[in-house]
């Protein structure tokens, strides 16, 4: 009986084991099928290639050759840039050499552009065509046609030209939405004059400031862009232009995979005005602004380092309507101003003659001022100030001399002749040659004035003071620690 029971028990165990294995097998099979389905879904959404979109948009991209008045220029950030231009400042800021290596004996520059209408209008960079005396565009089929400049805007480095090519030409559209960081993009251009060349990469950043020009917030793309791509478009995978290639980061002169594009929304605004009147009109209220740093925010008792600090007033609507130096602009109508670039771009886009409402902070109080936006005038050239050669030491570690004793320094303020290393002034960013005009809003006429004001601030428990200075003809504020 025991043997019989033992045999039955063994068979039962085998049945149970077989059932368990079956369950495990079915579970594994189900998991495997689910994983395979997930892999298929990912594969369906992953890019397999860009053939279709390239075939659709490439006919609208053109190569541009420009006969120039000066020999040896090369336009894709390799040519000599106008001194003081925002791109010139950008390259100098990063200590980069700008190569000049066109073909020997050549007086042609090369760039790219793209058609935005069937009747021959082409967008490119202003620096591509600015010095041209003769412009030719090469179509995707290799045919060459002359072109003429319709209008240009140096402040955004954009130009509109028109070709005489016959027929209804292929063209592309600007993207209506900003690209997302990480999105695939496809630059097409004319690198080294080779003709229509496609590369691929991603949007790596937005809102890049590569210089002091306030009207662009560049898109940074990580894709191969070389000399000769200037003015060419960068497409998204839907075939829309997200930006215009205008600069590359290039310590060596060749592509390192970092390029900067003018965003499509800026291109659209400029394009409409260039087509209508050949130039761009911008709004202006006559303020010169600077960032609100944490030190400045502390000196002004602001809750956060945000807004646009008024450093200087021109003869314009702001001065006439009661805006004062030292005010911090926080809103234009209902739009918050995080920094001076926000303000510059916002006001520039407003039609002159429009009434706006500025909200600003003054002595820790909020004030609202209405004013009518004027038209931005041409910028005047600023002369460098001469530096003095004698003076007396102040409490902040600077040697000062009255501005009236220094040729070209004017009558107001004190000129910095020397700065003690590691002093509060040196750490705060003051420089030899700066003219210290005021302590906050209190004018300074002697080193003893500054010492007295610093001591008063210390007795009041202040950790930071705000000095208004003049540097190379431009007014600004500098926060200096006195803690």
Structural domains of the chain, ranges and CATH numbers in brackets:
56-163 (2.40.10.10), 184-273 (2.40.10.10), 283-375 (2.30.42.10), 392-481 (2.30.42.10)
pLDDT in tens, 335-345: 999 888 889 88
C-alpha distances in Å from residue 356, one per residue of 307, 321, 337, 350, 352: 17, 12, 14, 9, 10
Average pLDDT over residues 346-370: 91
Which pLDDT belongs to residue 441?
A: 73
Q: One of 152, 199, 230, 255 is an active-site residue; which one? A: 230
Which pLDDT belongs to residue 268?
A: 93
230 part of the active site:
yes
Which pLDDT belongs to residue 32?
A: 59
Longest C-alpha distance within the chain, in Å? Answer: 125
Does residue 390 surpass a pLDDT of 50? no
- What is the Cα 234 distance to its own chain's centre? 16
**Are the C-beta atoms of 124 and 150 separated by less than 8 Å?**
no
Which pLDDT belongs to residue 57?
A: 93
Which pLDDT belongs to residue 238?
A: 92
Does residue 81 surpass a pLDDT of 60? no
| Averaged pLDDT score across all residues of the chain | 78
**Are the C-beta atoms of 130 and 69 separated by less than 8 Å?**
no
- Please report the DSSP string for 205-225 in residue order: EEEE--SS-TT--EEEEES--
Does residue 271 surpass a pLDDT of 90? yes
Which pLDDT belongs to residue 34?
A: 61
pLDDT in tens, 97-131: 444 334 444 467 788 999 999 999 999 998 888 87
Least confidently predicted of 88-97, 178-187, 424-433: 88-97
Beta 132-138 vs 144-153: how paired, if at all? Answer: antiparallel
Average pLDDT over residues 138-151: 92
- What distance in Å separates the CA atoms of residue 272 and residue 8, rounded to the nearest whole number? 91
- What distance in Å separates the CA atoms of residue 280 and residue 466, rounded to the nearest whole number? 37
- What is the Cα 271 distance to its own chain's centre? 18
- As to burial, measured by CB atoms within 10 angstroms (0-12 exposed, 13-18 middle, 19+ buried), residue 381 is exposed
pTM: 0.61
Q: One of 153, 157, 327, 434 is an active-site residue; which one? A: 157
333 part of the active site:
no
**Are the C-beta atoms of 256 and 249 separated by less than 8 Å?**
yes
pLDDT > 90: what percent of the chain? 26
Which pLDDT belongs to residue 6?
A: 53
Show the tokens assigned to 477: 């504020």
Least confidently predicted of 315-319, 398-402, 408-412, 451-455: 408-412
157 part of the active site:
yes
- Give, for 37, the enclosing helix (H) or strand (E): helix 2-45
Which pLDDT belongs to residue 254?
A: 56
More reliable by pLDDT, 70 or 376: 376
Q: One of 127, 217, 250, 434 is an active-site residue; which one? A: 127
- What distance in Å separates the CA atoms of residue 13 and residue 225, rounded to the nearest whole number? 70
């Amino acid at each position: 009986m025991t043997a019989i029971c033992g045999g039955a028990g063994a068979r039962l165990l085998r049945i149970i084991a077989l059932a368990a294995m079956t369950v495990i097998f079915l579970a594994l099979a189900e998991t495997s099928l689910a994983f395979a389905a997930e892999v298929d879904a990912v594969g369906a959404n992953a890019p397999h290639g860009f053939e279709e979109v390239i075939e659709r948009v490439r006919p609208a991209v053109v190569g541009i050759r420009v006969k120039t008045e000066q020999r040896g220029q090369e336009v894709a950030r390799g040519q000599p840039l106008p001194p003081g231009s925002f791109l010139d400042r950008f390259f100098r800021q990063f200590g980069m050499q700008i190569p000049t290596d066109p073909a020997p004996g050549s007086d042609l520059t090369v760039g790219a552009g793209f058609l935005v209408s069937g009747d021959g209008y082409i967008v490119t960079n202003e620096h591509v065509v600015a010095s041209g005396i003769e412009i030719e565009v090469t179509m995707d089929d290799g045919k060459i046609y002359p072109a003429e400049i319709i209008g240009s805007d140096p402040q955004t480095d954009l130009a509109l030209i028109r070709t005489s090519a016959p027929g209804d030409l292929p063209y592309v559209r600007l993207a209506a939405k900003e690209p997302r960081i990480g999105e695939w993009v496809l630059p097409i251009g004319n690198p080294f004059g080779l003709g229509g060349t496609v590369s691929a990469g991603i949007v790596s950043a937005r809102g890049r400031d590569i210089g002091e020009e306030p009207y662009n917030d560049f898109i940074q793309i990580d894709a191969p862009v070389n000399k000769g791509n200037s003015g060419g478009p960068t497409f998204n995978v839907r075939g829309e232009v997200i930006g215009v290639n205008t600069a590359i980061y290039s310590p060596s002169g060749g592509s390192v995979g970092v390029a900067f594009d003018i965003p499509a929304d800026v291109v659209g605004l400029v394009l409409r005005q260039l087509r209508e009147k050949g130039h761009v009109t911008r709004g202006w209220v006559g303020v010169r602004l600077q960032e609100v740093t944490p030190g400045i925010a502390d000196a002004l008792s602001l809750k956060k380092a945000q807004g646009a600090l008024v450093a200087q007033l021109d003869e314009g609507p702001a001065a006439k309507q009661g805006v004062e130096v030292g005010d911090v602009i926080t809103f234009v109508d209902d739009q918050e101003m995080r920094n001076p670039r926000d303000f510059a771009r916002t006001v520039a886009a407003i039609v002159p003659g429009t009434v706006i409402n500025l909200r600003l902070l003054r002595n820790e109080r909020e004030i609202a001022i209405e004013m009518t936006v004027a038209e931005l005038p041409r910028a005047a050239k600023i002369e460098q100030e001469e530096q003095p050669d004698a003076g007396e030491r102040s409490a902040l570690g600077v040697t000062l001399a009255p501005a009236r004793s220094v040729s070209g320094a004017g009558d107001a303020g004190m000129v910095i002749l020397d700065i003690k290393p590691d002093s509060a002034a040196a750490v705060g960013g003051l420089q030899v040659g700066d003219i210290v005009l005021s302590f906050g809003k209190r004018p300074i006429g002697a080193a003893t004035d500054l010492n007295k004001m610093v001591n008063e601030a210390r007795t009041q428990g202040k950790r930071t003071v705000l000095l208004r200075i003049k540097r190379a003809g431009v007014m600004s504020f500098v926060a200096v620690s006195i803690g």
